[in-house]
Amino acid sequence: MSELSSQLAADLPENTGISPQWLKDIRETGAAEFRTHGLPTRKDEAWKYTGLGSLGLAQVQLATASNTTVGDWQQPSPLAESNLQLNLLDGQILKQAGTVPSGLTVLPMAEALDSGVNGLQVLLESLSIKGTKGASGHGFSALNSATLDSGVVIHVAAGVDAGRLGFTWSTSQGEQPMLFNSRICVILAQGARLELLEQFESIDDNANTSNIVMQVDLGKESNLQHIRFQQETDQSVLITRTEVSQQAGSEYAYFGFDLGGGLVRHDLHTSILGEGAKSGINGAYLLDGNRHVDNHTRVDHFAGGGFSDQYFRGVASDSGRAVFNTAVCVHPGADETEARQSNANILLSARAEIDTKPELEIYADEVIASHGATVGQLDELAVFYMRSRGLNEQDARQLLTTAFCKSVSDKLADPVLSEVISQRMMDVMPQAV
Amino acid sequence: MSIMLKVTNLHATVAGKEILKGLNLELEAGEIHAIMGPNGAGKSTLGNVLAGREGYEVTKGEVIFNGKNLLEMEPEERACEGVFLAFQYPVEIPGVNNTYFLRAALNAQRKYRGEEPLDSVGFLRLVREKLEVLHIGDELLHRAVNEGFSGGEKKRNEIFQMAVLEPALAILDETDSGLDIDALKTVAEGVNRLRSKERGMIVVTHYQRLLDYIVPDKVHVLADGKLVATGGADLALKLEEQGYAWLEDGGIATLDVETAVQTANP
């Protein structure tokens, strides 16, 4: 184990007095796992391209109830209006604005653990924290479970359309970089609908690490639109894991936009458990400077007639480094599944690097599957065409790269939000160097 | 009349191969010149060289446009100075809205000229006006630049861009290629509406057909990298009739046409 892992393990909170017992079990199991394996290392296949050296160098410290105070802090302004807006600071709810529609329950994790929310225990217990073959691939999840007490629980009652719920995530700037753990649970009962708009954006520069696990349980015919916009500061580290389970006829649509951050890792996994469920997983990542963005997505089709589409676009310049690993597994019996994977990238400098790997395993019949991954440069003829109309070279290139990434934001149902995000992408669009 | 474009002894290579081998051309404002010639003569190279496309290297000669050295300018400066190339193969730009692109281009040119940018309302007004003049519907506006356009739509879009950008010099590179007769007429009509005393045009074409609709002031024959003959509109008709075999059979003298003269080459 690294020095950092040992230090974090030593700082894990005591579990005396934690109740109920199942919560104590989750925390103890997490702690035991973490004490054994620690944080992932490059020896783990899933972390081959992503090292955590920067956390060790920053001597990041585990945030606990005793060394954290949630104070007043400057918050980013939301990208778009929401029915209900939550500002989260250092992994905890700081402020809540708007109205809570009937049928929607939004509670701080600690309160939800106290009062109990339908399906919460089962959901929390379902998180796998063991890495494959005894590796530490899920070390962050183990750490997250070992400290489980903060975050948010969202429940939408059957048949209710809860509209848009907005989250802004930011971290505060202290004397020492901190590691914040937070857990989000989203439970949609049968036929429920929700749009979750997450925005990661710290106003003040910091070298904090956020370790956030989101667990989503989608009931029959329910629908979750999940938009994640990330423009964190240059030094910050954002480690997130999203686990989605989908019952029959449910729909999960994810749109991720990575515009910032120093080191960003997102593991997104959906399990299609019921017939005819749909998963659309879309993302764009824009990198310059020394940014490192690693997206690992996986769809497991356990039931037939399902549909999954993974669509990612990436641009890297300067010394930016992107990793994209997308996997689909169509398990025995998941017949008549349709699975698509598409990842295209543009490299704008010789030092930038993009590693993309599609994986496809099929053990069922009547499956339609397609996958493609490309890494290339801008179309020089298109650049010339635009210049021949009067645009300068820089603008022409910026417009082309924005258009490339805009194919992701264009998929958003809300044209206003789509426009806001495409403008934000244009503002930070990496330039060729 | 003043000389708008003066090309002198222009030599250009593409991928190390010399394509233009001493081309001379003078064009006055208000004139339309047609450049015809067999395949491989260098017709498209001329347009690309004038527009400043990368990979087209000028090895000798000069091009003076409105008193300025055109060859020293970046492609966008040439555009801002008023040079417009209608592409033989207009480029598809997925994801970039046609209207947005054209407004960005127009405003870049206005900025260069020290004019205020047009806002979206003002721009839309201008666009409607041009569409009406050109008899083009507005369906092209809402799509990405040339993406999925038919051949005819792409060429009409080039003419539409030209109408909005109002260049001083328009170079139409085989704008007739791949068009059926109706599309050809629409495009030619558009071009004719943009004829003006201030505007010069170079119409590069392989076939005479386009010149039935766009009647040029002068017709040049380009062969093996040079202009070898110059005449009036009737020269084009003769070429249609007699082909280009005379180029090898002893020159323009063998071609039965009154107005044409052998072009003097240095």
Alpha carbon of A406: minimum distance to chain B alpha carbons (Å): 7
CA distance B163 to B80: 15
Dump pLDDT digits (tens) for B85-108: 999 999 999 889 999 999 999 999
CA proximity to A262, closest of A333, A210, A223 = A210
Distance CA A296, CA A268 (A): 6
Whether the CB-CB separation of B170 and B162 falls below 8 Å is answered with yes
- Minimum-distance CB partner of B95 among A389, A391, A407: A407
B41-91 pLDDT per residue, tens = 899 999 999 999 999 999 999 999 999 999 999 999 999 999 999 999 999
**Residues of B whose CB is below 8 A from A403:** 93-96, 144
**Residue A301: closest CA among A269, A325, A326, A328:** A328
Q: What letter represents residue B205's amino acid?
A: T
φ, ψ dihedrals at A137, nearest 5°: -45, -30
Whether residue B264 has pLDDT greater than 60: no
Distance of CA A424 to the CA centre of its chain: 19
Domain boundaries, chain B: 3-262
Q: Which tens digit of pLDDT belongs to each residue from B176-217? A: 888 888 888 888 988 999 999 999 999 999 888 889 999 999
- pLDDT tops 90 at residue B140: no
Judge whether B161 is closer than 8 Å to chain A, CB to CB: yes
- Going by C-alpha positions, the residue among A163, A222, A223, A156 that lies closest to residue A190 is A222
CB contact under 8 A, B95 and A384: no
Is the CA virtual torsion A232, A234, A236, A241 positive or negative? positive
Angle (CA) B53-B56-B62 rounded to 5° is: 95
Cα distance between residue B228 and residue B46, in whole Å: 15
Judge: A403–B74 Cβ closer than 8 Å, yes or no: no
Distance CA A38, CA B176 (A): 69
CA–CA gap between residue A316 and residue A324 (Å, rounded): 12
For residues A33 and A36, give the distance between their C-alpha atoms in angstroms, rounded to a whole number.
5
Q: Which residues of A touch B171 (CB under 8 A)?
A: none
Chain B residues within an 8 Å CB radius of A385: 87, 90-91, 93
Q: Closest Cα partner for B29 from B145, B255, B196?
A: B196
Task: State the 10-residue block means of pLDDT for chain A, 433 residues long.
Answer: 91 89 95 93 90 82 76 82 92 88 94 91 92 72 95 97 95 87 97 98 87 98 98 93 98 97 96 98 95 96 97 95 96 97 94 94 95 91 97 92 92 95 91 78
Query: In chain A, which residues touch B (CB < 8 A)?
Result: 379-382, 384-393, 395, 399-400, 402-404, 406-407, 410
CA distance A33 to A139: 8
Burial class (CB in 10 A: 0-12, 13-18, 19+), B177: middle
- Confidence grade of residue B266 (pLDDT, cut at 50, 70, 90): very low
Residue B70 contacts A where some CB pair is shorter than 8 Å: no
HEC string of chain A? CCHHHHHHHHCCCCCCCCCCHHHHHHHHHHHHHHHHHCCCCCCCHHHCCCCCHHHHHCCCEECCCCCCCCCCCCCCCCCCCCCEEEEEECCEEEEEEECCCCCEEEEEHHHHHHHCCCCHHHHHHCCCCCCHHHCCCCHHHHHHHHCCCCEEEEEECCCCEEEEEEEEEECCCCCCCEEEEEEEEEEECCCCEEEEEEEECCCCCCCCEEEEEEEEEECCCCEEEEEEEECCCCCCEEEEEEEEEECCCCEEEEEEEECCCCEEEEEEEEEECCCCCEEEEEEEEEECCCCEEEEEEEEEECCCCCEEEEEEEEEECCCCEEEEEEEEEECCCCCCCEEEEEEEEEECCCCCEEEEEEEEEECCCCCEEEEEEEEECCCHHHHHHHHCCCCCHHHHHHHHHHHHHHHHHCCCCCHHHHHHHHHHHHHHCCCCC
Q: Do A390 and B80 touch (CB under 8 A)?
A: yes
- Taking CB atoms and an 8 Å limit, are B102 and A389 in contact across chains? yes
- Which residue from A388, A393, A403 is facing B93, i.e. has the nearest CB? A403
Please identify among residues 76-135 of chain B the ones whose CB lies closer than 8 Å to any CB of chain A.
76, 78-80, 84-85, 87, 90-96, 101-102, 104-106, 108-109, 112
Shortest alpha-carbon distance between residue A239 and chain B (Å) = 31
Is residue B53 within 8 angstroms of chain A, CB to CB? yes
Q: Which residues of B touch A387 (CB under 8 A)?
A: 52, 74-76, 79
What does the pLDDT read at residue B255?
62
Please indicate whether, in this complex, the C-beta atoms of B93 and A406 are within 8 angstroms of each other.
no
Three-class secondary structure of residue B137 per DSSP: coil
Q: What is the pLDDT of residues B169-182, one digit of tens each?
A: 999 999 888 888 88
Residues of B in contact with A389 (CB under 8 A): 79, 84, 101-102, 105, 161, 165
Among the partner-chain residues A381, A390, A407, the one whose CB lies closest to the CB of B91 is: A381
Q: Does residue B262 carry a pLDDT above 70?
A: no
The token duo for B93 is 């730009």
Longest dimension (CA), chain B: 60
CB pair distance less than 8 Å for A384 and B53: yes
Contact check, Cβ <8 Å, B54/A380? yes
Select from A389, A400, A410 the Cβ nearest to the Cβ of B161.
A389
pLDDT at A113: 93
| Residues of chain B positioned with their CB less than 8 A from the CB of A410 | 95
> Nearest CA of chain B to the CA of A306: how many Å?
29
**Phi, psi angles (nearest 5°) of residue B8:** -125, 120
The answer to whether A135 and A43 are in contact (CB under 8 A) is yes
**A&B contacts, CB < 8 Å:** 76
Strands B200-205 and B218-223: unpaired
Identify the weakest region by mean pLDDT among A208-212, A306-310, B9-13, B147-151.
B147-151
Yes or no: domain B3-262 corresponds to CATH 3.40.50.300: yes
From the CA of B231, how many Å to the nearest CA of chain A?
30
pLDDT band at residue B135 using 50, 70 and 90 as cut-offs: confident
Contacts of B91 in chain A (CB under 8 A): 379, 381-382, 384-385
Its pTM stands at 0.84
